[in-house]
Copies of this chain bind each other. A is one copy, B any other.
């Protein structure tokens, strides 16, 4: 039965599913590896195949989450670090031609946050912020019941806000933004720098410990690892405080690999929020873990397909 399809396009895998309701999809989910190395035409063709497989025919409409900044209005990708050749790609038009149906494209973190708003921790709110803390930091901002995209379509880059005047730089070159300190990459880089500086830690001797290894060390009582997570938590909390002061959301949900170690972050995160947020809007804002986990991207794409192209067939 054809229908509305959501696609979660990642750097390594593609998942597609057909909507069974406004925020739900039917099993089975169509999956395939992302042929990123074969170029954008191959990736678009694989997405179209997965969509047809999910819909068992030509879909009525597709919404796809793409990992990079893009213009959802124009349907153009500005950049996608994990997908060579996607820079400047008219992805909406190409996928629409390949799949034979209308297509909506959106940033993957925006759609994950949309899912968390319609079916997760943000359900029932009018204003909501989603912050995904993994290798990088992305998110989504819902203002007065709308997924906010801003004038260029690239808003809600909640990881790239000022944090420290001195640095470090994040992977995208911004000096002293949140992502450089609190992302998985940021935590790993700060660990490496501390080890080079001679700090004592059980991380010493490990080959490039990543954020998940560092979390294990923190749980085993390693003081450096504990401090790295506390610093990430405080930086996150301060940025949440800034969001609370600027936007006054009803809730902020945080997901992603680093945020899965919420217990290592939470104390410092709440301290950081209190350092910056005014008491009244802080009291009105629930802050906690996202509820949909790795499902968020696909749920968001399906929900967006339903929103853009009507009720499921």
Say yes or no: is A141 at the interface (Cβ < 8 Å to chain B).
Answer: yes
CA distance A149 to B157 in the complex (A): 21
**Chain A interface residue count, Cβ-Cβ cutoff 8 angstroms:** 52
Say yes or no: is A207 at the interface (Cβ < 8 Å to chain B).
Answer: no
Contact partner of A248 (CB less than 8 A), chosen from B154, B165, B243, B285, is: B154
Which of A148, A154, A164, A172 has the most CB atoms of chain B within a 10 A radius of its CB? Answer: A154
Say yes or no: is A152 at the interface (Cβ < 8 Å to chain B).
Answer: yes
| Segment with Cβ contacts to B, from A6-14, A95-103, A218-226, A233-241 | A233-241
Tell me whether B151 and A143 are in contact (CB under 8 A). no
Tell me whether B250 and A281 are in contact (CB under 8 A). no
Closest chain-B Cβ to A242's Cβ sits at a distance in Å of 4
Q: Please judge, given known A-B contacts A248-B153, A280-B78, whether A275 and B174 are in contact too, CB under 8 Å.
A: yes
Q: Which residues of A, 154-190, contact B by the 8 Å Cβ criterion?
A: 154-158, 160-165, 172, 174-177
Contact with B along A259-303 (1 / 0, CB 8 A): 000000000000000011110110111000000000000000000
Which of A238, A247, A284 has the most CB atoms of chain B within a 10 A radius of its CB? Answer: A247
Closest chain-B Cβ to A190's Cβ sits at a distance in Å of 13
Which of A78, A157, A277 has the most CB atoms of chain B within a 10 A radius of its CB? Answer: A157
Say yes or no: is A27 at the interface (Cβ < 8 Å to chain B).
Answer: no
Tell me whether B161 and A164 are in contact (CB under 8 A). no
Tell me whether A149 and B248 are in contact (CB under 8 A). yes
Q: Please judge, given known A-B contacts A141-B246, A146-B144, A278-B157, whether A239 and B285 are in contact too, CB under 8 Å.
A: no
* Copies of this protein chain in the complex: 2
Tell me whether B278 and A160 are in contact (CB under 8 A). yes
Q: Which residues of A, 61-111, contact B by the 8 Å Cβ criterion?
A: 69, 78
Say yes or no: is A249 at the interface (Cβ < 8 Å to chain B).
Answer: yes
Contact partner of A161 (CB less than 8 A), chosen from B154, B245, B283, is: B245
Tell me whether B144 and A276 are in contact (CB under 8 A). no
List, in ascending order, chain B residues with CB within 8 A of A153's CB: 248
Tell me whether A276 and B175 are in contact (CB under 8 A). yes
User: Chain B residue with minimal CB distance to A251?
Assistant: B151
Say yes or no: is A127 at the interface (Cβ < 8 Å to chain B).
Answer: yes
Say yes or no: is A28 at the interface (Cβ < 8 Å to chain B).
Answer: no
Tell me whether B235 and A165 are in contact (CB under 8 A). yes
List, in ascending order, chain B residues with CB within 8 A of A241's CB: 160, 162, 174
Please provide the 10 A-B residue pairs with the shortest distance between their CB atoms, ordered closest to farther. A150-B248, A161-B242, A155-B248, A157-B245, A162-B238, A175-B275, A152-B281, A152-B284, A160-B245, A151-B284
Q: What would be 11 A-B contacts, judged by CB atoms less than 8 Å apart?
A: A69-B280, A127-B150, A151-B250, A151-B285, A154-B278, A157-B246, A162-B163, A162-B241, A164-B165, A175-B275, A176-B275
Using A144-B144, A150-B249, A175-B276 as known contacts, list a sample of 8 further A-B pairs with CB atoms less than 8 Å apart, ordered by residue number in A: A144-B146, A149-B248, A155-B245, A157-B246, A161-B242, A162-B162, A176-B238, A243-B246
